[in-house]
Structure 1
Amino acid sequence: MSAPLVVSIPHRLGREEATRRLKTGLTRAASSVPVLKVDEERWEQDRMIFRIRALGQAASGHLDVADDHVRLEVSLPWLLQRFAEAAQVAIRNRGNLLLGKKG
């Protein structure tokens, strides 16, 4: 594994509301991506620890919720690193939808 994929998404919701939205929206977000399967999703206060599988490859990481941003860090196996740029854009777009003003 090489350097992790890191995505930071700013928000204006505060830590509590951002965490609430992520907890309720994450399963829906993963179900909208057919090649993605969530193997583990565990919350420890403001951190979600996860393991996912895509295209038969496993990846793991964590998501930290702060007062004004969310930071996702995931270690990708070499095969999935080819899709890292597209994944970064998709994660940022989905995060912006979950953390936008609506809700």
Structure 2
Amino acid sequence: MQVAIPHNLSNDDVRYRLRTRSHEIADHIPGGMAEVETEWPSPDTMLMTIRFMGQTLAGNVVLEEGQMVLNLDLPPALGFIAPLVESSVRKHGQDLLAPPEA
């Protein structure tokens, strides 16, 4: 599954906001028991490991000019939730890019 989230920020701003808010990703996964680990193998790629509902999902976020692109491997057993995941990613992806509160 791939979801592009457009923005009007520099990649430096997106990188900063993702680094400081990536812990919030788990808060947006239904069920409230998700664990999310992230790492940055390169300046424009954030890798994610998401554990929830007895599943481990691998994904990444790639920063491109004017958008960030989430790539997530959903196992066949969870394919039915793809529309829900995409909707949540679009909504909460914008939340992660919002300006930090003062």
One fold, TM greater than 0.5? yes
Q: Give the number of aligned pairs.
A: 97
| 1:31 is the counterpart of 2:14 | no
The code of the aligned residue for 2:3 comes to V
* Residue aligning to 1:48: 46
Deviations 1:1-52 (A, max 9, x none): xxxx1110000011000111111112123134314222x3110211011111
Structure 1 portions without partners, runs of 5+: none
* Residue aligning to 2:71: 73
Q: 1:12 aligns with which of 8, 29, 36?
A: 8
The code of the aligned residue for 1:7 comes to V
TM-score (norm 1): 0.84
Relative to structure 1, is the Cα distance of residues 65 and 6 closer, same or farther in structure 2, using a 3 angstrom cutoff? same
Runs of 4+ with deviation above 4 angstroms: none
* Residue aligning to 1:21: 17
The code of the aligned residue for 1:29 comes to I
Relative to structure 1, is the Cα distance of residues 80 and 35 closer, same or farther in structure 2, using a 3 angstrom cutoff? farther
Structure 2 portions without partners, runs of 5+: none
- Give the fraction of aligned pairs with identical amino acids, expressed as a percent: 29
Contact kept? 2:48, 2:59, Cα under 8 Å: yes
* Residue aligning to 2:95: 97
Q: Distance in 1 between matches of 2:88 and 2:13?
A: 22
